[in-house]
Structure 1
């Protein structure tokens, strides 16, 4: 990430005739020819390693050409001579960019200790805290994977790709006719090639055809409006005294079948301000860019300018302190409610990292995209070809083809393994001879929200099948004319393998259940088993409530029936006493049913006392127990 930075400080070329190495190096440094200055002062250091002046200029040349990770030994020499805030702070940045986060935090705190400036102490404290936060960075897209686009990249600089109307546009130093003296790399130009998403025709890359690239200056960081009619790009670093002194934004417009010659954009405001890395909003109504103009928060900040009715742009607005820091923010990529950008001021892994700013519950958060996207090098120039699953970034991380390289990314989230729960249901009926098949029974399936999710009739063999979801609760309701409808609960929770144990893409698990219905006959008494009362009492005991709840369910499953609930006693008391006791017990049972949500008009309480014994001549305790019973019978069926 050297040429897009398009150095903030580029002075006139000052080369005299015969000069000492020191004078030559100073002239090169003053002219922004940092690579040449490094070479010159390195000759001095080869003879005099402790030379303070030479160490200073080499350290600063690396820093100003965005290679501060190489400057550490030179700053360490300077710290031995003078432990200034700047020397400690830049040494810390060099350590940070090498991934030495603990040592960087110590160096930032050392810088804090040698200054009395509140603002500098705050700057160092924030930087040290950022190093401690590196361990908390998680992957924003855990399954996104980066791949170096080796066939697209050159041995030089390739960066900031965008796709517009089936073409990939990017910046590259390939085929450069001259070298930019700040870095020793070739000057950059704009190129394009056909593309379908991240698939690029790497065999037919050509210089930008819309207008001609200029020689001996850097052109880069291109943006194209959504309608394809406006091109905005950064241009600068010319050595000519007649040219602009800084990097500025230029625009070319589609007019009359072709694009116009690029013109200087008023949003630059001043030719001495650095303005670069433009991007359009998705609707084309806003222009985002980075600038070092006064009034920002330090380094380069992100700005936004709204498009006016006449096609020009209004006054740029700083995006604020939540996004901008004392470091550098650049390469904005607005995506609706989210803003992606590069920064070296937020907690990151090294130089520029990619971040996203998003608002949740009214709070704006800036989130590092994580270690599968970012590195300790520069990572920037994010562009989506299929948001958010596919696109490009630029990085100068280790292992690349050249300097800045273009990488593509894809979402490789593994396909979820599917588990189908196949539930075989059989419908049966109770008969005096036992359970037998009940064919052609309507069976309905409901999910946990009581929404119907399936239903059919059982076959002649009383069978049907449902496909259920794992780890879910259901209700199954069976009904047939002439039978009590019945509902049962069914859960698949815990009935399928753990996700990590699944091998096949689709796993079918077969389970079985049955639903047994009883015939619905008017006036046929049905004994409720295990309904007991304390001696001479009519209150409902807890064990009796459990049994009565079964009747509650029958009544809820069959809302069309009305029942008589009757209580019977044995014959071991007077008729009048038994009649009264049984009536009170029947009424108590009915009241319990009402308390559970059953309408009172569906219930009739009847105490028969000892009038209807099952065993007429009861002589044993077992016989008396059979006679002491609670029954219900259907007395009406509403059609």
Structure 2
């Protein structure tokens, strides 16, 4: 028995190194394929290694990536989950993001949000994190945005990959497809083991029915990829994407990978010819997915060229009348993220539609819209369901005249790897940041609702924007703008004016709940006589100043707004502003300081409230009217001294 145990130990000692050496050789082979983006071939090897019991963070990362970058997010989530579970300390932030995206594909949104919270904590400078933090109720917004398109069944899809639809502007739809490959020649793209893509066209019928697809004629289609096209208004100029294959020469980057370039072709008769490569292409980066502006003067595209923010960014370049091009310009940080922005489309009205996994969505690539704003575009807005879903949704195009459009998706229920879907737009999309404020006016004493109260919406300068009356349930509501400061004021006879400040944020379609309580009282209920302090009649908080300062404090502004409201409510009132200091400092300096405070208070009421200067007088009294025993030399706390730094509002009429 002893000898048998020793034999077993020896066998294990011999076999274990051989086992792991074999796995290492397999991984090296797979890594070479992975670096060429040959994810499918690499995946087979990685899976074999994993099923043999070998594990590492690198193995799980590459397995997850092999699914993630082919749009198979549900499978990607399983390997990323194992990565986080077994190698949490070795997980980079980019894998947190990919895991969060993958979780959305199986609609595990709460878990995805928790991962994004962690992603944000580790990457405060990442725009994907800031987009998430500013849109944490994104599911609510997407629900509001959803239902604005009706999907239409198409009969042009194949069992292979069909995507990137575009209008020729001459009644034809052109798209990319890997169908109709020669069965005798198995030329497969290493990345996803699909046949290489060619360009096809279908005529658009009267009822938007599409005819049987046929290949584009001319020297367009090659044995490599052609995809994503855009056309001039007359349909005679086409920009398209192709592998780096020019004049029958295939080129690769330094790592041996064939990337993508943009090409231009012209139509002669029914054939595409005069194919030329665009001058801003490069062998070390991809340029793809063109979109031409309605007037043909600007070409938009996706690229990872030097200076790009993420895996692919959106760019634009001027197209000059002589056929030359300007210098490519990034669409900027509102559009581009550290993720993928791709497949741009410019509608006739200049709206930008594009696909992204860097902006907050439902999973994978989602379609977004950004409207023209200044010299660029607004923040992007998710277009909602049914265009977007948990999988990849992309290459969106829309005829704004007919409201008919097309997009591609790898969602469940399709015929092939990617399918083209048609839609009819039935409602306008939300394309601006809007918020709302609502609330109930309540009695401060017993919480009873107060109907027929005037509710006033003011800007930060106390200028009235809008006014309404609370309904029978005491409710009010205003439409407001994002990232703006407001004051909401409630007024009612026999009640004191009351108001609240509200600063909005960037959350789309958010409703702020702002109840306002008001107290019984007010000038109309009390007999006010000359010499009364208006601040006491209104039960205001004291108007305090900081030590040795005359500037109006933020907390004092709210109280002064109430004084302004009272002066507007009762135009016959006149007041005398009396400002006081504490006993610290010389008597002469305190007199000077208090006079500055009185003038500062008067100036605020006149300027911010638009009150006639003839209705307000005032001066400083220094330390001559202390309200406690904190005289010169008497030890007092800061709080006791502060009680003397005040302003009073004495009725003079």
1:72 and 2:77 aligned = yes
CA distance in 2, matches of 1:65, 1:397: 13
Between 1:19-28 and 1:360-369, the stretch displaced more is 360-369
Q: Cα deviations across residues 344-396 of structure 1 (Å, max 9, x unaligned)? A: 22221112222211257999342221123211112221222453621211111
What secondary structure does 1:196 align onto? coil
Name 2:44's counterpart in structure 1. 39
Q: Mapping of 1:189-588 within 5 angstroms? A: 189-196=198-205, 199-203=208-212, 205-215=213-223, 217-236=224-243, 242-244=250-252, 245-254=258-267, 258-268=271-281, 270-335=282-347, 336-359=349-372, 364-387=378-401, 389-411=403-425
Q: CA RMSD in A?
A: 3.1
Query: Relative to 1, partners in 2 of residues 1:400 and 1:291: Cα closer, same or farther, differing over 3 Å?
Result: same
Following superposition, the deviation at residue 130 of structure 1 comes to 4.5
Residues 356 and 366, structure 2, Cα contact 8 Å, conserved in 1: yes
**TM-score normalised by L of structure 2:** 0.55
Q: How many angstroms does 1:261 deviate by?
A: 4.1
Q: Any conservation in 2 of the 1:357–1:365 contact (CA below 8 Å)?
A: yes
Q: Deviations over 1:194-247 (max 9, x none)?
A: 2236734443x21111324111x2110011111122111111177999424321
Distance 2:268 2:43 in 1: 46
Compute the displacement of 1:315 (Å): 1.2
TM-score (norm 1): 0.56
Secondary structure of residue in 2 paired with 1:94:
helix
User: In the aligned structure 1, how far is the partner of 2:298 from the partner of 2:414?
Assistant: 34
Q: What's the secondary structure of 1:263's corresponding residue? A: strand
Residues 70/131 of structure 1: CA separation in 2 closer, same or farther (3 Å cut): farther
SS in 2 for 1:267: coil
**2: CA distance between counterparts of 1:231 and 1:207?**
15
Equivalent position SS for 1:278 = strand
Question: What's the secondary structure of 1:71's corresponding residue?
Answer: helix
- 8 Å Cα contact 1:359/1:365 also seen in 2: no
| Offset of residue 170 of structure 1 | 0.5
Q: 1:167-182, aligned counterparts within 5 Å?
A: 167-177=172-182, 178-182=187-191
Deviates more, 1:98-107 or 1:76-85: 76-85
Q: How many residues align?
A: 390
Q: Is the 8 A contact 1:148 1:405 kept in 2?
A: no
Q: CA deviation at 1:289?
A: 0.9
> 2-side partners of 1:26 and 1:186: how far apart?
23
Q: Closer, same or farther in 2 for the Cα pair 1:412/1:109, shift >3 Å?
A: closer
- Give the corresponding residue for 1:81: 87
Residue by residue over 1:259-294, the C-alpha shift from the partner in whole angstroms, topping out at 9 and shown as x without a partner, is: 3242210132x2222111101111212111111112
Cα 1:241–1:95 change in 2 (3 A) is farther
Q: Please report how far the alpha carbon of residue 105 of structure 1 lies from its aligned counterpart in structure 2 after TM superposition.
A: 1.6
Q: 1:34 to 1:141 in 2, by over 3 A?
A: closer
C-alpha displacement at 1:318, in angstroms? 1.4
Q: 1:69-218 alignment to 2 at 5 Å?
A: 69-79=74-84, 80-83=86-89, 84-86=91-93, 87-112=95-120, 115=122, 119=125, 123-124=128-129, 126-127=131-132, 130=135, 132-138=137-143, 140=145, 142-149=147-154, 151-164=155-168, 165-177=170-182, 178-196=187-205, 199-203=208-212, 205-215=213-223, 217-218=224-225
Q: Is the 8 A contact 2:172 2:203 kept in 1?
A: yes
**Superimposed CA distance per residue, residues 463-489 of structure 1 (whole angstroms, 9 cap, x where no aligned partner):** xxxxxxxxxxxxxxxxxxxxxxxxxxx
Whole-Å Cα distance in 2 between the matches of residues 124 and 356 of structure 1?
20
Using a 3 Å threshold, how does the CA distance of structure 1 residues 388 and 289 change in structure 2: closer, same or farther? farther
Per-residue CA distance 1:408-441 (angstroms, 9 max, x = gap)? 112457xxxxxxxxxxxxxxxxxxxxxxxxxxxx
